[in-house]
C-alpha cells in the first residue's frame, strides 16, 4: 500500500534549510525503504552514513511543519562531485518543489565545479529515484554489481 502519491498536492509549503546534522540524522534514521536498501548495497549503515556528515561539501534539507523529509548534498572526490539525496516518505508530497530545488542545486554546483564530473550512484531497484534522476538529466555511464543487485553510475553532462 502506498501512503504518499506524487499526485497529492501538499497543504503545507515545505521550507528549505542549509544542511545540518539534526536534520541529516533524522532523515537517515527515517528514510524510505528503497533508500535504506540502496544505503546497504553501497556499503553504508545508518550509523556510518551519519558519521560521514563532516565530509559533506555542501547540502540542503527540506522540512514540513519542522519535520525533515529530505537531505541532499555533495562530496568531492578527485575530479568528481558526487551528489546524494535521501528522503522520508513525506518527500512524495513535495515532488514538484523538490525537483525544482534539485535542479537549482545542481545548476549551482555545476557553475562552481565546471571541470568536475557530476555523478550519482543509484540502486537499479530504486525506480522512483531513477525516474527522478532522468528528469534531472542524469544518464547512465557505468554500473557495478553487489551480489545480484545492480548499482548504476549516472552523470549529468548538460
Question: Cell numbers of 151, please?
Answer: 548499482
For residue 99, being part of any structural domain is answered with yes
SS (H, E, C) 34-93: HHHHHHHHCCCCHHHHHHCHHHCCEEEEEEECCEEEEEEEEEEECCEEEEEEEECHHHHH
Coil vs helix vs strand at 22: helix
Instruction: Work out the percent of the chain whose per-residue pLDDT is above 70.
Output: 92
Banded pLDDT at 77 (limits 50, 70, 90): very high
pLDDT for residue 87 is more than 80: yes
pLDDT of residue 13: 82
149 SS3 class: strand
Whether residue 5 is contained in a domain is answered as no
pLDDT, tens digit, 9 for 90 and up, residues 26-56: 999 999 999 999 999 999 999 999 999 999 9
For the segment 15-28, what is each residue's pLDDT rounded down to a tens digit? Answer: 999 999 999 999 99
Q: Is the pLDDT of residue 110 over 90?
A: yes
What CATH number is attached to the domain comprising 126? 3.40.630.30
Backbone angles phi, psi at 21, to 5 degrees: -60, -40
**Domain span at 128:** 15-156
pLDDT in tens, 63-73: 999 999 999 99
**108 located within any domain:** yes
Share of the chain above pLDDT 90, in %: 84
Q: Is the pLDDT of residue 8 over 60?
A: no
pLDDT of residue 11: 57
Beta-strand relationship, 58-64 and 149-156 = unpaired
Domain annotation covers residue 78:
yes
Residue 24 lies in a domain: yes
CA 109 to chain centre: 14
Please determine, for residue 4, whether its predicted confidence score (pLDDT) is greater than 90: no
25 in any annotated domain:
yes
The strand pairing partners of 146, in sequence order, are 149
152 within a domain of the structure (yes/no): yes
Instruction: Please tell me the total count of domains within the chain.
Output: 1
Q: Is 106 a domain residue?
A: yes
Amino acid at each position: 500500500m502506498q501512503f504518499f502519491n506524487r499526485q497529492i498536492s501538499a497543504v503545507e509549503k515545505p521550507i528549505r534549510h542549509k544542511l545540518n546534522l539534526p536534520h541529516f540524522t533524522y532523515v537517515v534514521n527515517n528514510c524510505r525503504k528503497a533508500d535504506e536498501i540502496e544505503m546497504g548495497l553501497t556499503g553504508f549503515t545508518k550509523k556510518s552514513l551519519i558519521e560521514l556528515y563532516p565530509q559533506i561539501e555542501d547540502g540542503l534539507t527540506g522540512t514540513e511543519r519542522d519535520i525533515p523529509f529530505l537531505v541532499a548534498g555533495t562530496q568531492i572526490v578527485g575530479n568528481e562531485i558526487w551528489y546524494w539525496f535521501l528522503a522520508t516518505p513525506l518527500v512524495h508530497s513535495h515532488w514538484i518543489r523538490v525537483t525544482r530545488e534539485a535542479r537549482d542545486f545542481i545548476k549551482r554546483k555545476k557553475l562552481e565545479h565546471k571541470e568536475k564530473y557530476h555523478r550519482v550512484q543509484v540502486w537499479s531497484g530504486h525506480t522512483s529515484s531513477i525516474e527522478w534522476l532522468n528528469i534531472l538529466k542524469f544518464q547512465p555511464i557505468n554500473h557495478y554489481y553487489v551480489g545480484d543487485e545492480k548499482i548504476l553510475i549516472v552523470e549529468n553532462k548538460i
